[in-house]
Amino acid sequence: MADEILVVAEHREGKLVATTLELVSLGRSLAQQTGGSVKVALPAHGGNLAPKLAEYAEVLVANDPHLEHYSPGGYEQAILAIAAAITPRVILVPHSSQGFDLAPAVAVALDAPLVTNCVALSIEGATLVATRKILNDKIVAQVELSSDRPYVATIRPAAMKAAEPLPSSAPITSIRVEIDASKLGTKFLRYEKPEVQDIDIATADIVVSAGRGIKEKKNLVIVEEFAKVLGGVVGASRPLTDMEWLPKTRQVGQSGKTVRPKLYIACGISGAMQHVSGMKDAGTIIAINTDPSAPIFEVAHYGFTANVLELLPAAMKELRGG
Amino acid sequence: MALNIVVCLKQVPNPDLQFQINAEGTDLKRDALNYRTNGADEYALEEAVRLKEKHGGRVVTMTVGPKRTEQMLREALAKGGDEAVRVAYEDPAAFDSVKVARILAAAIKTIPHDLVLAGVQSDDYINSLTGGEIARTLGHPHASVVTKVAIDGGTLTVNRELEGGDQEVVQLAMPAVLTIQFGINTPRYAPLPAIMKAARQPIKEITPSALGANSWDDFARGYTFRVRRLSLPEAKGHAEMFTGGVTDQAKKLAQVLREKGFYRG
């Protein structure tokens, strides 16, 4: 009974966040190790996500008007009520903007150990073994936690494949909660969405993206010219849009756009998780970076270890001259 | 109202470098590292100083770490911090980030505060848990990945960055904890006179006994933590790599683009 794996579903504006099903997949493998089963916690107000989730695992729904929008306090109360009903061994939370908030709150409330941004997890007896990528993904760290309390872990998006549906839907159980509205922590006001007045890099066949490796704003023209030669558009990594060298609409990555072009060229981009999650599914990926250990080469199909400011002009000359 | 702000800073190895692992596989080879202030924390500090300049008050900069972190604290003083506190947890690696967050929370509790700011993540361990742990431990409201802060009386209105470019606007009451996202502002450079002045400023040190503990291990109660093994990522053999002179590589790049049909000139 105490060996259940609880996955916290993440959803926004009626839509399930994809990481949830990846967590179910991980939950299934952990449940095999503990001899328990995987269950999904769904804090919500109405909506129709429970039947969809039940195609993958048993769903425990906490339904309350105060759960219409995410709040750390509201969700914490809901997760604690669900956890009290099943005494999970491990609680899995997406490593997302919401997870940064929720996972520590639940861990502190349960006086439980917390490990975050994991790419793999396993249970060995009473020990949780977490695999994390640190230092710009240049080092893999395996850490062990031992405790008789439940473990709370956040899982990096896209670290594993989404779960396949079950042969037939699992049960949906309603967990009684009454959310204390004086303990929501934050009050939701509204969503703000970017106004699109720029080209949409998400629909382009060829995206040539610039990163810190271009060194100075004036060097953007080199990348722009290269993109033009190929009939593509210019994207950017986060540091460049933070410095306002390019508008926010050009940012590729977790907090920007997800792109799946036929060709993606990463120019002077190291390949931090936040960037890679937005472009790893491109058809062909070419990476140019002076650092041969840059993690961008992990996802690239072709890697060039050169200074992008020298390589692009030389390659344009080759293309035009040939 | 004048604000008492605590900013949590972390000194991290420059993540742009290449790393080597010690013989035991439990830590980096640290003698070759150079350290700098964590990227997101620079934005948290700048935001704190701007809020102080607008509303009045004080900015206390705080870190948990060995002696070398004093350099970072002095930089923070030169950039507008009023006081510096080093929590003297001397572990150079400090892999157990929950323990560090609990220590920080206990130290912050000893200081009057309306607002606690931390970076959204540390560039070395990328946990994004410190702000949340501190907030829940102190019983304060918390908002993560903050890209805009406005204060009206005792109420904060903040933008939180969500995935996919969307933002969420929420309100929370002070005292509160915010984790600050990259790009919220443009961090300033320290003027030379301020650097000179900061070099002479005292740095307060906090020991376990000052927090009512016998040792720092008191803050890791309820679990044990251990680094099993550090390793270099397995080369996935994904990329076909090209090295050598620029001219050779340019020829190869042009060839790949032609063969794949991406250049039809």
Residue B236 predicted with pLDDT over 70: no
**Distance, in angstroms, between B182 CA and closest chain A CA?**
7
B57 close to A (CB below 8 A): no
* A183 vs B: CB within 8 A: no
Under 8 Å CB pairs connecting chains A and B tally to 275
Above 60 in pLDDT, residue A1? no
Please write the tens of the pLDDT for every residue from A63-99: 999 999 999 999 999 999 999 999 999 999 999 999 9
| CB pair distance less than 8 Å for A193 and B166 | yes
Which of A188, A191, A314 is the closest to B250 by Cβ? A314
Q: Which of residues 213-252 of A touch B (CB under 8 A)?
A: 229-230, 238-239, 241-242, 248-249, 251
> What is the rounded distance in angstroms from the CA atom of residue B233 to the CA atom of residue A270?
15
Considering the segment(s) A201-321 as one domain, its CATH architecture is 3-Layer(aba) Sandwich (3.40)
DSSP element (H, E) containing B136: helix B130-138
The answer to whether B24 faces chain A, any CB pair under 8 Å, is no
Chain B residue closest in CA terms to A96: B163
CB contact under 8 A, B240 and A303: yes
Mutate to test the interface with A, among B35, B99, B178, B263 (most CBs of A within 10 A): B263
Q: Residue B83: pLDDT above 80?
A: yes
What average pLDDT score do residues B161-170 get? 89
Tell me the average pLDDT across B81-102: 97
pLDDT in tens, B3-55: 999 999 999 999 878 899 999 999 999 988 999 999 999 999 999 999 999 99
Give the mean model confidence (pLDDT) for residues A157-186: 95
Separation in Å, CA of A149 to nearest CA in chain B: 8
Residue numbers in B near A117 (CB within 8 A): 126-128
Residues A196-249 have pLDDT tens digits of 667 789 889 999 999 999 999 999 999 999 999 999 999 999 999 989 999 988
- At A156 the pLDDT is 94
Q: What pLDDT, on the 0 to 100 scale, is given for residue A139? A: 94
Q: Does domain B3-220 bear CATH number 3.40.50.300?
A: no
- CB-based contact B135 A301, cutoff 8 Å: no
Scanning A25-54 for CB atoms below 8 A from B yields none
Can you give the pLDDT at residue A271? 92
Average pLDDT over residues B218-234: 94
pLDDT for residue A232 = 93
Q: Does B154 touch chain A (CB under 8 A)?
A: no
Going from N- to C-terminal start, the domains of chain A cover 5-183, 201-321
**pLDDT at residue number A248:** 87
> What is the model's pLDDT at position A198?
72
pLDDT in tens, A238-258: 999 989 999 988 999 988 888
The verdict on a CB contact (< 8 Å) between A307 and B183 is: no
| pLDDT single digits (tens) A269-308 | 999 888 998 998 899 999 999 999 899 998 999 999 999 9
Q: What is the pLDDT of residues A29-70, one digit of tens each?
A: 999 999 999 999 999 999 899 999 999 999 999 999 999 999
Do the bridges between strand B155-161 and strand B142-152 make them parallel or antiparallel, or are there none, so unpaired? Answer: antiparallel
A284–chain B Cβ distance below 8 A for any pair: yes
| Interchain contact, B28 vs A139, CB within 8 Å | yes
Spatial distance between the Cα atoms of B95 and B21, rounded to a whole number of angstroms? 14
Question: Do residue A103 and residue B132 have CB atoms under 8 angstroms apart?
Answer: yes
Q: Give residue A322's pLDDT.
A: 59
pLDDT tens sequence across B59-75:
999 999 999 999 999 99
Highest CATH level, class, for A5-183: alpha beta
Chain B: give the shortest CA distance to residue A92, in Å.
14
Per-residue pLDDT of A101-129, as tens digits, reads 999 999 999 999 999 999 999 999 999 99
Residue A150 and residue A111 in contact, taking contact as beta carbons nearer than 8 Å: no
Q: Shortest CB distance from B249 goes to which of A185, A192, A306?
A: A306
Token pair recorded at residue A9: 């579903």
Return the domain boundaries, chain B. Answer: 3-220
Q: Which residues of A touch B250 (CB under 8 A)?
A: 311, 314-315, 317-318
Q: What is the pLDDT of residue B237?
A: 59
B 124-143 → A contacts, CB under 8 A: 124-129, 131-133, 135-137, 141-143
